[in-house]
A and B are shown apart, each in its own frame.
Chain A
């Protein structure tokens, strides 16, 4: 049932998948809210195609880190490179057009539009003719891409329903479809499993593990069963700082981690 996702072919952007160095590189990122440092001096690099989990208790600064990477917040200090390009001060839509994607912890969709329209918009966002007044034809490449993505997240049966009417788990799946639209090169998943049933979690794992291999991602996730099964490396954060990096097995067995994180009062 899980055919590997064929990513919709890039529409507009010139593709330079072969890029020397890292997909994402953070150098000394600090974000202050007033006098409070939400994250301090985070340095992190992720290779193209690498899949990494960022773990840590609530308030460790994980979502703030995502917001800095996507450009929702400008970091107070530090440097962000995306496939070698300095994007530190770019507005969000410029980063998106370069192949960065994210999902949101709380579903952030278009409730008044249908499932297929949601995905279509996401595909449209990184293509040309965003202001076109001409309706897409049925054989339009983007319509086709959107339909493929809807299928990839197992929502074909619901594609004409309004998103506001979908069940919670289905909305989470749609979040992922939106993140896969266009030609993503790197995705940030913000707690994709939160609130999902065990069946839906299995579905999620299968979606994540069958992503095309050139797409790397960072996942924030509290459910270790999900997180450690879909990544090859783990970064632990605590109080806004990175305190450990390693492979999933190492992290799982690390006594310090177990004390700090697994005992550390998360849900």
Chain B
């Protein structure tokens, strides 16, 4: 599965436009729809469907950044999100007063990001000791170790039951767990994360990361420290995962080992692969499909006479179908469809784009 990126190249002097002129119309349409969605959608759609989509999308985005640009398929991103989420519960306030420290939010949130970044950096440093397919195995093993550790440890992680009543701070007098504020909060963070990934992909670091993906030996021969770039990528990706993880804790108002279990780690991979790991938009599309399936599968399954529990079967079969027939995910299908249409439209030009 070649993970080539199709990010925009350097812009020619000829088509220098202001930045907002360069954004194509469909994006404006999407932005308008997302901004005005609360006018038409009910709170279930805003809070459950869209909120969850943005959260899962951000965690998937951190995987896409590592896999699509860095060639490192990490199953650790849900764990990184979980570390940030746990830190919010442990350092801030929760129903488990014996463990939670109850610090103020402007210490808790930066600390959560920092600790998650530290965790991601150390784990990344271990994972990049080997290459290629080993990455999946090692990150899966680290994720599992952390999962079992949180389940066994009661002094820090409160073991099996975890933390409940973890609520966002009442900033500006707004209850951020209300559907509309939470929707906008997650929308803004998701959009920022998306924008950051798109921006960084064209920065020296982002380009170097893609160079490392394509040809690590040559990168070393050009004077780059390949290992340092890989580890730094883990650190940077942790920011998006952490943001998703903190939102996830607030959305559920709780966190427990189950939140970061193996199936959750695999779900993030499923989301990124189904959407497409070549572009930052992929994980969000994958997350939307996943959430829709999760939310509406009981009805659909019930219609065909199956129990609602068979949701995982649908996810598994769908994932298999994507991997077997469209390795670049839904976005890959879309690209191919567009390429074919373009070919049919302009038959004179035989060049395959």
**Interface residues in chain A, defined as those with a beta carbon under 8 Å from any beta carbon in chain B:** 70, 72, 91-93, 96-97, 102, 104, 108-114, 116-118, 120-122, 124-126, 129-136, 138, 143, 159-160, 162, 164, 178, 181-182
The answer to whether B222 touches A96, judged by C-beta atoms less than 8 angstroms apart, is: yes
Question: In the assembly, what is the distance between CA of A37 and CA of B229, in Å?
Answer: 35
Residue of A104, A110, A132 most packed against chain B (CB within 10 A): A110
The answer to whether A121 touches B220, judged by C-beta atoms less than 8 angstroms apart, is: no
**Taking A120-B207, A143-B10, A178-B222 as contacts, is the C-beta distance between A133 and B200 under 8 angstroms?**
yes
B3 to chain A, nearest CB (A): 7
Return the contact of A132 from the options B9, B204, B220, B223 (Cβ within 8 A). Answer: B204
Q: Which of B203-234 contact A (CB under 8 A)?
A: 203-208, 210-211, 213-215, 217-225, 228-229, 232
The answer to whether B199 touches A121, judged by C-beta atoms less than 8 angstroms apart, is: no
Question: In the assembly, what is the distance between CA of A109 and CA of B210, in Å?
Answer: 11
The answer to whether B204 touches A138, judged by C-beta atoms less than 8 angstroms apart, is: no
Question: In the assembly, what is the distance between CA of A250 and CA of B261, in Å?
Answer: 73
Report if B11 contacts A (CB, 8 A): yes
The answer to whether B9 touches A121, judged by C-beta atoms less than 8 angstroms apart, is: no
The answer to whether B214 touches A124, judged by C-beta atoms less than 8 angstroms apart, is: no
The answer to whether B202 touches A182, judged by C-beta atoms less than 8 angstroms apart, is: no
B335 to chain A, nearest CB (A): 14
Closest CB pairs A-B (n = 3): A125-B222, A125-B223, A112-B4
Question: In the assembly, what is the distance between CA of A232 and CA of B220, in Å?
Answer: 31
Which B residues are CB-close (under 8 A) to A96? 221-223
The answer to whether B225 touches A110, judged by C-beta atoms less than 8 angstroms apart, is: no
Which B residues are CB-close (under 8 A) to A113? 5, 207, 210-211, 214
Which A residues are CB-close (under 8 A) to B202? 135
Which B residues are CB-close (under 8 A) to A117? 9-10, 207, 210
**Interface residues in chain B, defined as those with a beta carbon under 8 Å from any beta carbon in chain A:** 2-5, 9-13, 16, 199-200, 202-208, 210-211, 213-215, 217-225, 228-229, 232, 236
Which B residues are CB-close (under 8 A) to A93? 220-225
Given contacts A93-B225, A133-B206, 8 further A-B contacts (CB under 8 A): A108-B215, A110-B210, A110-B215, A111-B4, A112-B5, A113-B211, A133-B205, A135-B202
**Taking A93-B220, A125-B219, A182-B223 as contacts, is the C-beta distance between A114 and B9 under 8 angstroms?**
yes
Question: In the assembly, what is the distance between CA of A117 and CA of B219, in Å?
Answer: 13
Question: In the assembly, what is the distance between CA of A112 and CA of B12, in Å?
Answer: 20
The answer to whether B207 touches A124, judged by C-beta atoms less than 8 angstroms apart, is: yes
A183 to chain B, nearest CB (A): 11
Which B residues are CB-close (under 8 A) to A130? 204-205, 208, 224-225, 229
The answer to whether A129 touches B218, judged by C-beta atoms less than 8 angstroms apart, is: no
The answer to whether B221 touches A111, judged by C-beta atoms less than 8 angstroms apart, is: no
The answer to whether A131 touches B211, judged by C-beta atoms less than 8 angstroms apart, is: no
The answer to whether B213 touches A109, judged by C-beta atoms less than 8 angstroms apart, is: no
Q: Show 29 residue pairs from A and B whose CB-CB distance is below 8 angstroms, ordered by the A residue.
A: A70-B221, A72-B217, A72-B221, A91-B220, A110-B210, A111-B214, A111-B215, A112-B3, A112-B5, A112-B210, A113-B211, A116-B10, A117-B207, A121-B207, A124-B208, A125-B222, A125-B223, A125-B224, A129-B204, A132-B204, A133-B200, A133-B203, A134-B203, A135-B202, A136-B203, A138-B11, A160-B9, A160-B10, A162-B4
Q: Return the chain B residue nearest A116 by Cβ.
A: B10
Question: In the assembly, what is the distance between CA of A133 and CA of B5, in Å?
Answer: 18
Question: In the assembly, what is the distance between CA of A138 and CA of B224, in Å?
Answer: 23
Question: In the assembly, what is the distance between CA of A93 and CA of B210, in Å?
Answer: 18
Question: In the assembly, what is the distance between CA of A78 and CA of B199, in Å?
Answer: 47
Which B residues are CB-close (under 8 A) to A111? 4, 214-215
A46 to chain B, nearest CB (A): 20
Return the contact of A136 from the options B204, B223, B225, B228 (Cβ within 8 A). Answer: B204
Question: In the assembly, what is the distance between CA of A126 and CA of B217, in Å?
Answer: 15
A60 to chain B, nearest CB (A): 23
A159 to chain B, nearest CB (A): 8
The answer to whether B204 touches A124, judged by C-beta atoms less than 8 angstroms apart, is: yes
